[in-house]
Amino acid sequence: MSFDILVLLAPGFEEIEALYPVDLWRRAGLSVVTVGVVDQDVTGSHGITVRADLVLSQFLDTNCDPYQAVFLPGGMPGAENLSRSPLVVSLIKKTLDENLWLIAICAAPAVTLGRNGLLRQRQFVGFPDFAEEGKSHGGIWQDHDVVVDGKLITSRAIGTAPLLALEVIRQLKSDEAALQVSRRGLISTR
C-alpha cells in the first residue's frame, strides 16, 4: 500500500492543526494516514482523544510503505514528544534523505526539526514564540503564513492550518485541486 501523507500524532498534539488539514487533504483525494507515535489512541493538547489509523512502530515494521509526505503538527507538548522520539527523528531523516515532502506547523518547525539539527539553512515559519529558537538552530525565519523551501512546507499555527493544507494540495496535486477545495470550504486564500 502507498500513502500520500503520514500525519504523526504524538501525545499533546494540537488538534486543529492536525485534523483540519487531514480533512481538507482527504477532500482533495489525497491518501492520508494518521499515525500514533506511541499508541493508537492519542490525546491532544486540549484533551481530545483521536484513534490513529496506525501506530508508528507498526508502520515501520511493514518496511515503510511508500509515502510522499510526513506532516508534523504542533502543539505542546506534542512537538516536544515528536522531537524526543527516535522513531520519529529517524523517519524525518529518511524523508529528507529521499527528498520527500516534510510539512510542519506551529512549534514543530523549531522544536521538532530545529532541536534535531534539521532546520539548518532552511527557510521556515512557525508559532512566533518559537522564532528565536528556530533561528538559534540555524533556521531562516520568514514572516509569512506559509513558507515553502524546497520540499519543506511550514506554517504558523491553527489559524493558518487551512492555508497550509491548501499549499500541500497545490504541491502534491495541482492549483486547480486546491482551488476546488478552497471554494467548497469557503476558505479565503486572500
Q: Establish whether 64 is a catalytic residue.
A: no
Amino acid of residue 84: R
pTM, two decimals, is: 0.95
54-64 CB burial, b ≥16 within 10 A, e <16? bbbeebbeeee
Min mean pLDDT across 125-139, 142-156, 172-186 is at 172-186
pLDDT at 184: 85
Out of 18, 72, 106, 178, the active site residue is: 106
- Name the pLDDT band for 2 (thresholds 50, 70, 90): confident
Q: What is the pLDDT of residues 120-137, one digit of tens each?
A: 999 999 999 999 999 999
For the segment 90-119, the average pLDDT, to the nearest whole number, is 97
Give the model's pLDDT for residue 23: 96
Q: What is the DSSP string of the chain?
A: --EEEEEEE-TT--HHHHHHHHHHHHHTT--EEEEESS-SEEE-TTS-EEE-SEEHHHHHHTT---EEEEEE---TTHHHHHHH-HHHHHHHHHHHHTT-EEEEETTHIIIIIGGGT--TT-EE---GGGHHHHHHTT-EE--SSEEEETTEEEE-SGGGHHHHHHHHHHHHT-HHHHHHHHHHHT----
pLDDT band at 63 (very low <50, low <70, confident <90, very high): low
Q: Enumerate domains of the chain plus CATH numbers.
A: 3-185 (3.40.50.880)
Indicate the residue type of 142.
Q
* Rounded distance between C-alpha atoms, residue 152 and residue 2, angstroms: 20
Cis peptide bond N-terminal to 109, omega within 30: no
**Parallel/antiparallel/unpaired status of strands 3-9 and 67-72:** parallel
Measure the CA–CA gap between 50 and 135, rounded to whole angstroms.
32
pLDDT category at 1 given cuts 50, 70, 90 is: low
Position 185 scores a pLDDT of 74
Nearest-angstrom CA–CA distance, 70 and 31: 12
